[in-house]
Amino acid sequence: MAMKTVSTWKSHGGVQGVYTHASDVCGCDMTFAVFVPPQAAEGPLPVLWYLSGLTCTHANVMEKGEYRRLAAELGIIIVCPDTSPRGENVPDDKDDWQFGSGAGFYVDATVEPYARNYRMYTYITEELPALIAREFPADMERQSIFGHSMGGHGALTIALKHPDRYRSCSAFAPIVEPTTAGWSSKAFERYLGSDQDSWRKYDACALVKDGARFSEFLIDQGAADSFLDEGLRPWLFEECCREAGISLTLNMREGYDHSYYFISTFMNDHLRWHHQRLTA
């Protein structure tokens, strides 16, 4: 699991790096980005995980998310994994942008040929955290998680299944009920098989209905998002949280869409929100 440095840049007094390692979990080389703020010279810092959306890599938020200035000010390490395994020997469907490379959905696939590589849930929750703990000045007792779209789905489900690990969880335009959304349910069937009961552990609404709990959530959603009614439907999660007694702040942002223009606008709000909980 040796890590290799692809590139580093000094930014806001800290270091933005891109790294690779051979992943045993995914059976291929994986790439990820880490921003380490200047306060790391004084000791370990809290970690905030950002999970990207469909078609994205680590680079989308790294280049367009505008998180470094405030992360440097607050003293938070930002980790940005890739969204799926990649490589010549990794099975893919190049004609479907909602499946395969770039669309791992943060699940552990159980159906061949995808089960050999598409194990993003275990990669994000076990293998990569172990690498981060070993290679970076990270205080793994203080972790939080957030993400966008498919990555928002990943953040919500991972937090719900690990409430003692993460101090906070937020999302930009998350897919809250992927088991019933047309653009994700077909991926679930190809990754997980036809037994829909097995899908529930990767569905935020189903997890809450089945008894999973987390302290609170923050969601920002663009009201002009073209995917709002088809795949996102945050009101479904709002109803689940209300019935379960989970605190949820859902901000509907008029005029904003699904893009990084939207994400970067509210990135600082999320960083400050997480910082308050990471340092409480």
| Distance, CA of 149 to CA of 33 (rounded, Å) | 19
Token pair 């007694």 is at which residue?
245
Our answer to whether residue 258 is catalytic in this structure is yes
Spatial neighbors of 28 by CB under 8 A, at least 6 apart, are: 22, 85, 86, 87, 89, 90, 117
Q: Given the residues 144, 225, 270, 274, select the one marked as catalytic.
A: 225
The upper half-sphere exposure of residue 70, i.e. CA atoms within 13 Å in the direction of its Cβ, equals 16
Determine whether 7 is exposed, middle or buried from the number of CB atoms within 10 Å of its CB (0-12, 13-18, 19+): exposed
Alpha-carbon dihedral sign for residues 280, 122, 77, 63: negative
Closest among 155, 179, 188 to 169, alpha carbons compared: 155
Our answer to whether residue 226 is catalytic in this structure is no
| Distance, CA of 58 to CA of 115 (rounded, Å) | 22
Q: Given the residues 258, 270, 274, 275, select the one marked as catalytic.
A: 258
Our answer to whether residue 225 is catalytic in this structure is yes
Q: Given the residues 23, 84, 144, 149, select the one marked as catalytic.
A: 149
Catalytic residues: 149, 225, 258
